[in-house]
Structure formats: structure tokens, C-alpha cells
Structure 1
Amino acid sequence: MRGIVDRIVAPFVVDRRVLALAGARMADGIGNSFLIIVIPLYVTSGVVDGTTFGLDESMLIGVILSLFGFLNSSCQPFTGQLSDRLGRRKPFILVGLAGLALTNVAYVVAETYVSLLVIRGLQGVSVAFIVPASIALVNELATAGDRGGNMGVYNTFRLVGFGAGPAMAGAVVSRGPYALPGGLAVDGFEAAFYVATITATISYVMVTVLVSDPASTVANAGADLSVPVFDRSGPTLLDPIFTLGVASLFMATAIAMFATIQPQVNARLEQGATWFGLQFAAFIIAQVALQTPIGRACDRYGRRPFIVAGMALLIPTTLVQGFLFSSSLMFVARLFQGVAAAMVFAPSLALAGDLAGEGESGSKLSVLTMAFGYGIAVGPLSSGALVGFGFEMPFLFGTALAVIGTGLVYTQVEETLETTGSLPVVGSE
């Protein structure tokens, strides 16, 4: 029995602070992804009123949800750079989690569209404090030999939370109202907002008790925190971190286009919402299953092969979705699209972490997280605009981005690890 347990936990044997941080991000991910389902239901429930700025409900929902992504991504470079200058990560994570907890409970008293916009915007800013500091902390607690594995574990837990939230949210809302002691009751929406608040609070407590900044972070607070576009000293034209950021933007855009065109997908494949939910979840399933093993593998075999192969796999898995007429084949295509993303994400963060100097992790790695966030926001807008020209057009656009991204990482990104036997070392050191 002990041998079985050891094999199960072996992939997650990392610094306890990384594991605690990953667990905390899983908890807040559950609560934050709750809102992706709950907010549209809340807007259309009749509880909210006030000015709609001339927008219909569907467009207003899109603005509210997109505002989070754009503010989150736009603020990440600033919070990442500030955490580098101060040489502190934990306080930024705590500020962000506290902001999430407060804004989650604020939804209970939000009764106008304007208040929803303000609250969701503040949540985007709050998460911008969490993401760069968390990734930087994982990077600084890792070494060249286990950086990919640490990034993989962190992303696996975060994605589990993100995937579990939407699955739970609908049930929480639909089963309300809930009776409380003393004759009190809360409806389904209030219960969902309270659940999101509790998960953020749990994360806050976990980080407070179990996570600490390494001494080297304070000692090596960065001075030059710029991220150049061009590689001024290396053999390539573009800076590799900037290149990985562009590739992450293209990858996220190609992946996120699927969500907006649910009616068109269901009509083309003659399927219901259940099949679409499975196809949407297939991407996350692949990510959860593969982030950690791919992260471990890139520590042994190098970062670049996985990134290039993942971007190349993104090309056919995106293109084929525009020409399928089978629900099961669409599920398979989305699953392999998730495999492609898993091959890119953790190795890219690990490679950028290899290149980041002491005290620069927040600034450098926020380029990738910011770019990915922008892609998640841009993808749905792109597909919504392009699908009117034909069902295949969003996927052709995503394929073109994948082709460009593959070319960029193949020509502009070099390996950072050199292997001596089975021992990987940072090649630039």
C-alpha cells in the first residue's frame, strides 16, 4: 500500500511552499471560476437593474467578463515589476487574495450593472497582484533541475480548481434557497458568492501560514527590470522571453475562440449543451493530466523541444475543428489541443525562469502570463466577429496564429539547459 501511495504522490514532491501555494491557487481558482457561470445567470435573473449603457444583456455579460481579463492582464507587468523592486512576493499574493474575498462577498449587495462592472474590474486588479508574484515565487523556489516540474505542479493544481468551479456553480445556484440556523435563508446566488468568498479566504490562510519568501528574493531585488523586444546580445533577432510572450498570446487566442461560438458549434454538430460542455472540458482534462509530467520531462530533456512540438501540434488541432461534423471527433480535437497547450505552457515558464536574473522573476514571467490572459480575452471576441463569414473562419485565423507562433519559437528561442548525463544545468550560467 505504501508503494502505491508513494507512486501517486511522487509527481507532486516539490518544495512544500510550492505545494502550499499550488493548493491555495486551486482553492481560489474554484471560487473565481464559479463566477464565470454565476455572473451571466445573475445578470439575466432580474435581480440586477439600472443603466445598461445601451447594450443588450448578452453584450453586457461579455463586457463584464472581458473586463476582468483585460484589467488583470494589463496590470500584471506593473505588479510583477513592483514585486521585483521590493523583493517581496507573499504580501502581493495576500493583497490579491484579500481583494478577491472582499469583492466576492460584495456581489451579494450588488444590484446594478454598474456595480457588477466595478466589482469585476476590481477582481481583475486583485488577481493581477496574485499571478506574477505566485509564478515568480515558484520560479525562485525551484532550481534548473526541477523548475519545469514545479511549474507543472503549480499549474496542475490551479487548473483543477479552475475546472471544478464551473461544474459546481450551476448546482449551487439551482439548488437554492438554503435554510440556515435561526430561520434564515440564502438564495442560490448568495450561496455561490459566499462559496467564492470562503475559497478565497481559505487560500489567504494557507498562504499566510505555509508560504514564505526565500531570503534570496529580498537580497536580490532587481534593478534593470525592462523586457526588451530585441535580443541585444544573443544570436537571435527577438528577445526569447518576448517571443514566448507572443507565442503564448497566439496560443491562448486560438484555444479561447471555441467558447464564444457554442450555438454555431451545437448547430453544426447537431448536439446539445452536454456535448459542448465535454468538448470544452477536454482541453482542461489534458492540461490537468499532462502539466506535471511534461514539466518534469522538460527538466530532463530540455525546454525548447516541448515548446516547438506543442506549437506545431496546435496547428492541425486548431485547423481540423473548422471542418468536423462529429461531436466525438470534436472532443478528440479539443483534447489534443489541450495536449499542445500543456507542451507549451510549463516549459515556456521554465525557460523564461531560466533566463530571468536574480530579482527579475516577477517582471520577466509576467510577460507570459499577461500575454496568455490577453489571448483568453481576445479569442472569444475574434471568433464572435469571424464566425459570421463562415464556421471555419475562426479556426483558420487561429491556425494562422499557430503557424506564426511556431515559426517564432523555432527561429527565435534557444535551449537554456545543457544536459551532462542525466543532470541538467542552465546553459547560460
Structure 2
Amino acid sequence: MRNLGRRVAAQFAVDRRVLALAFARMADGIGNSFLVIVIPLYVASDVVGGPTFGLAESMIIGIILSIFGFLNSSFQPLTGRFSDRAGKRKLFVLIGLAGLATMNVAYLFAESYLSLLVIRGLQGISVAFIIPASVALVNELATTDDRGGNMGVYNTFRLIGFGAGPVVAGAVVNAGPYTLPIGGLSISGFDAAFYIAAITAIISFLLVTVLITDPESTRANASADLAIPVWDRPGPNLLNPIFTLGVASLFMATAIALFATIQPQVNTHLEQGATWFGLQFAAFIVAQILLQTPIGRACDRYGRRPFIVVGMGLLIPTTLAQGYVPTSETMFVARLLQGIAGAMVFAPSLALAGDLAGEGESGSKLSVLTMAFGFGIAIGPLSSGALVGYGFEVPFIFGTVLAVIGTVLVYTQIEETLEQTQPVPFVGSD
């Protein structure tokens, strides 16, 4: 398995441990994204019940889904800092995967809305162990010359897993019940989905256990604290660059997540069905999967800052357009272009933050970006749900304003970290 991993890693021009970690995150991403589709169906079924505290079913679903993002993002600075202090990235990833697998099994025993909320919250905390340690591990296994490419490969496979889960989740639930070949036992579609989610987490755990080792350069940083510096002192700009990237990531994630929870309004506005909405939603992820790796490698050659600035700039018209497009086809194009904008920002931002992180600081520094992105993904749907009542275009105008502010921040407050870069080529240039 190790020899095969080395050959595959050579094809992607990354450390084999980065590729193994990417595959592990792809596996747990499949299971975790499964639940985004399964949990609303589970809540709507007659399997769970209990007190609703006067809340509508749709609000219960929203709270259960959003608690994952809020707790996940809130705990990331803590787990990132603790992994710096311990100097053991692999251990933190394994703790998180073990918690994720355990909570996936726990869904089988959930009988009330409150128990679902607790389980989903504990899942969010578990994933908070995985994300900062994983990104820090990729950062420490890379060098300045290939950091963007490594981040791109890691994000590509993670997104493949996240995109694949929802495609089959609904089908797994609807095709149940299933009769097991051993013992003739019957399990429901919901149980099958939870088993699949648990199995993917276990596969990730085994991949990390067998194929991942902490890099030799990782060392414990006992002086790490929980402070996130805001001001660039000493430095050429007003704001700290990592803080600036975190704010830009928050605004970007909020803008791209506005689309997710207003499916009825989108379908009514464009006079389309669920199939078109699914294609439009997937367009963003497809662009991310196709472009994360090449853009990551390009930013190793041409610099981080140009891609971040152009990506944030492209986010402005592609977000605004979604509030005014007249047809399903143009919405698809807008979402695809917005995915290109996101791909231009994410991997180069992580690479730039990794360049700035000192020895033993990767977990704490990079967790600022992953935390901010997670909060944005949670805030976006809540914002669009609250604003769409004032007009279909209002959520997208809000996202556009955030994109404008983010663009100004990265243009004025971010400096290039690569000492030697080549001019970014334009179409038609030699």
C-alpha cells in the first residue's frame, strides 16, 4: 500500500502523506455530507419526536444543521492551538475521526430532537479536531515552493468527498429497508445511511493510522496562546495579514453560502424544478474540484496575492448576478464563475498564511482561516433566509457588499510572501 501511495503521490507531485490525508478527508467528507441530506429527512420522519419548544419543523432542522458549523468553527482556534502545543498533528486528527465515527453510530439510538441536536453538536466538536490539525499537517509537509499545490490537492479530494455524499444519500434512504446477507436482518434506509457515514469515518481513521506520520519538522510550541493578532505591528499595513485573510474568508464563505437554503425562492423566481437547482448548486463545487489543484500550483509560481485579489474581485459580480439572472442557464453560469472565484482565493490564502506561520504555529495560524470559513458557511444560509423576504435580490446584494469589503481589504492589507515570482500570464500571451 505504501509503494502504491508513493507512485500515486508522484503523479500529483505532492508528499504521499498529503495525498493519504486528502483521501482520508475525502472518505470522511462523504459520510459527513451524507448527513446534510439525511438529517432533514430523519427529522421529518416519524422515527424521532419529543418536545419542539414551540419551534416549527423547518426551524428545528435549521438549528440541528447549523449547530455543527457554529461549534466546529468556535472550537477550531482551541484545537489548532493545542495541536501546536502538543506538536502532534496525527493524534488530533485521529481523536476527531474517532469522535466522528462514534457520533455517526449514535444516530441509530437517537429518538428525540434534543438527542439529534447533542449528537450533531458533538460531531462539530469532533471535526474541529480534524480540520486545523489536517491543514497544519499539509502545511508542514510542504515547502514554500510547493505549498499552494499541496493545499490544492488536499482541498480537491476533500471537496470530491463533500460533493459525492449528497448525490447518493437520498437514494440510500429511499431504497430502504435492506436485508443483510448475514443473518437476514433488516435495517431501514436511515440506519443504512448512518452505518455508511460511520464506515467512511472508520476508513479515514485507518488510512491516517497506517499512512500518516507527523513531519520531522513538527515540534511542540508551548508558548502558543489563543490571541488572534488584529494589527500588523511591526509591518507595512494596518491589519495583520492572517487576520485580514480570515475576514476575507468569512465574507467569501457567507456570500457563496447564501444560495443553499433558498431553494423554493430560486425555483419560483426562475420557474424551474429541483433538478436545475441541484445542477446550479453543484456547479460551484465542480469548479472548485477542477481548479483547486492547478490554481494552487500556479500560485507557487506566480505568487499568492494576485490570485487572492482577482478571486475576491470576481466574487463581486458573480454574487450580484445571482439576484438578477433571468434564466436557469444564466444562474448555472453565475454559480460556476463564483466557484472559480472561490478556488482562486482558498488554496492561495492557506498557502500565504502557511508562509507566514512560524515553526510550531501552523495549527493556530491556519485555524483562523478555517474557522472564519466555517462561520461564513453557517452565517450565509441564516442571512439569506432572513433577507429573502425583502426581495429575491436582497441576499445577493448583501453578499456583494461583503465581497467588495473583502476585496478592498486583501488589496490594501496583503503583501506577497514569495520572494521571486513570475508575471501572471494572460490569455494570448506568449
Same fold (TM over 0.5): yes
Q: Does 1:155 align with 2:155?
A: yes
How far apart in 1 are the matches of 2:8 and 2:136?
27
Aligned to 2:324: 323
Query: Which SS does the other structure have where 1:260 is aligned?
Result: coil
Distance 2:139 2:227 in 1: 18
Q: Report the Cα offset of residue 225 of structure 1.
A: 6.0
Q: Is the CA contact 2:147–2:300 (under 8 Å) kept in the aligned structure 1? A: yes
Provide the rounded CA distance (Å) in 2 between the counterparts of 1:88 and 1:183.
44
Whole-angstrom CA distance in 2 between matches of 1:329 and 1:376 = 23
Sort the Cα spacing of 1:392 and 1:369 in 2 relative to 1 into closer, same or farther, 3 A.
same
1:352-390 per-position Cα deviation (integer Å, ceiling 9, x unaligned):
000000000000000000000000000001011111111
Q: Whole-Å Cα distance in 2 between the matches of residues 380 and 405 of structure 1?
A: 19
CA offset at residue 183 of structure 1?
1.9
Shift of 1:218: 2.2
Aligned to 1:78: 78
Map Cα deviations across residues 249-296 of structure 1 (whole Å, 9 max, x no partner). 000000000011111100010000000000000000000000000000
Amino acid corresponding to residue 397 of structure 1 in structure 2: F
Q: What is the distance in 1 between the residues matched to 2:421 and 2:100?
A: 45
- Residue of structure 1 in register with 2:95 after alignment: 95
- Give the match for residue 426 of structure 2: none
Q: Which residue of 1 aligns with 2:3?
A: none
Equivalence map 1:214-229=2 (5 Å): 214-218=215-219, 223=224, 226-229=227-230
Which residue identity is paired with 1:144? T
CA distance in 2, matches of 1:297, 1:225: 33
**Partner deviation per Cα, 1:214-245 (whole Å, 9 max, x = no partner):** 12212666546633000011100000000000
Corresponding position of 1:197: 198
* Alignment match, 1:4: none
Aligned to 2:263: 262
- Aligned AA for 2:90? K
Query: What residue in structure 2 maps to residue 426 of structure 1?
Result: none
In structure 2, do the counterparts of structure 1 residues 87 and 394 end up closer, same or farther at CA, with 3 Å as the change threshold? same
Change (3 A) 1:304 1:397: same
Provide the rounded CA distance (Å) in 2 between the counterparts of 1:221 and 1:15: 27
In the alignment, the residues of structure 2 paired with residue 11 and residue 36 of structure 1 have an alpha-carbon distance, to the nearest angstrom, of 33
Alignment partners' CA distance in 2, 1:245 and 1:218: 25
CA contact (8 A) 2:85 2:221 kept: no
- Gaps of at least 5 residues in structure 2 are 1-6, 424-430
1:259 is paired with a residue whose SS is: coil
Q: Report if aligned partners of 1:139, 1:151 keep a CA contact under 8 Å in 2.
A: yes
State the 1:194 CA deviation.
0.1
Q: Is the 8 A contact 2:81 2:225 kept in 1?
A: no
Q: Report the 3-state secondary structure (helix = DSSP H, G, I; strand = E; otherwise coil) of the residue aligned with 1:414.
A: coil
Matches within 5 A, 1:11-26: 12-26=12-26
Within 2, Cα distance between the matches of 1:390 and 1:180? Answer: 50
1:8-27 per-position Cα deviation (integer Å, ceiling 9, x unaligned): 97662210100000000000
- The answer to whether the 8 Å contact 2:308/2:349 transfers is yes
**Equivalent residue, structure 1, for 2:301:** 300
Amino acid at match of 1:337: Q
Change in Cα spacing, 1:15 to 1:8, as seen in structure 2 (3 Å) is closer
Equivalent position amino acid for 2:241 in 1: P
The amino acid that maps onto 1:403 is: V
* 2:301 and 2:422 in contact (8 A); partners too: no
For residue 317 of structure 1, report the CA deviation from its aligned partner: 0.2
Aligned positions of 1:97-136 closer than 5 A: 97-136=97-136
**SS across alignment from 2:14:** coil
3-state DSSP class of the match of 2:233? coil
Residue 311 of structure 1 corresponds to which residue in structure 2? Answer: 312
The offset of 1:419, in angstroms, is: 1.3
Q: Is the 8 A contact 1:84 1:222 kept in 2?
A: no
8 Å CA contact 1:105, 1:197 repeated in 2: yes
**How high is the TM-score relative to the length of structure 1?**
0.95
Residues 283 and 52 of structure 1: is their aligned pair in 2 closer, same or farther, counting only changes over 3 Å?
Answer: same
| Distance in 1 between residues matched to 2:396 and 2:220, nearest whole Å | 47
The CA distance in 2 between the partners of 1:266 and 1:219, in whole Å, is 52
Deviation string for 1:188-218 (max 9, x for gaps)? 0000000000000000000000001112212
Residue type at the aligned position of 2:125 = V
1:277 corresponds to 2:278:
yes
**Residue 174 in structure 1 maps to residue 174 in structure 2:** yes
Task: Say whether 1:43 aligns with 2:43.
Answer: yes
Distance 1:359 1:10 in 2: 27
Alignment check: 8 A CA contact 2:100 2:198 kept: yes
Q: Secondary structure at the match of 1:401?
A: helix
Shift of the 383–420 alpha-carbon distance from structure 1 to 2, 3 Å rule, reads: closer
Query: Any conservation in 2 of the 1:222–1:359 contact (CA below 8 Å)?
Result: no
Q: 1:278 to 1:87 in 2, by over 3 A?
A: same
Which deviates further from its counterpart, 178-187 or 333-342? 178-187
Structure 1 residues 22-37: aligned runs within 5 Å: 22-37=22-37
State the match for 1:333 in structure 2.
Answer: 334
Cα drift, residue 168 of structure 1: 1.1
Q: Which amino acid aligns with 1:13?
A: A
**Count of matched residue positions in the alignment of Structure 1 and Structure 2:** 417
Change (3 A) 1:268 1:10: farther
Percent of pairs with identical residues: 78
Aligned partner of 1:330: which letter?
A: M
Q: Secondary structure of the equivalent of 1:217?
A: coil
Q: How far apart are the structure 2 equivalents of 1:130 and 1:251?
A: 22
Match of 2:56 in 1: 56
CA contact (8 A) 2:86 2:221 kept: no
Distance 2:421 2:352 in 1: 18
Q: Tell me, in whole angstroms, the C-alpha distance in 2 between the residues paired with 1:259 and 1:304.
A: 29
**What's the counterpart of residue 362 of structure 1?**
363
- Alpha-carbon displacement from aligned partner over 1:45-80 (angstroms, at most 9, x marks no partner): 111010112111100000000000000000000000
Letter in 2 for 1:345: F
Distance change (3 Å), C-alpha of 1:344 and 1:11: farther
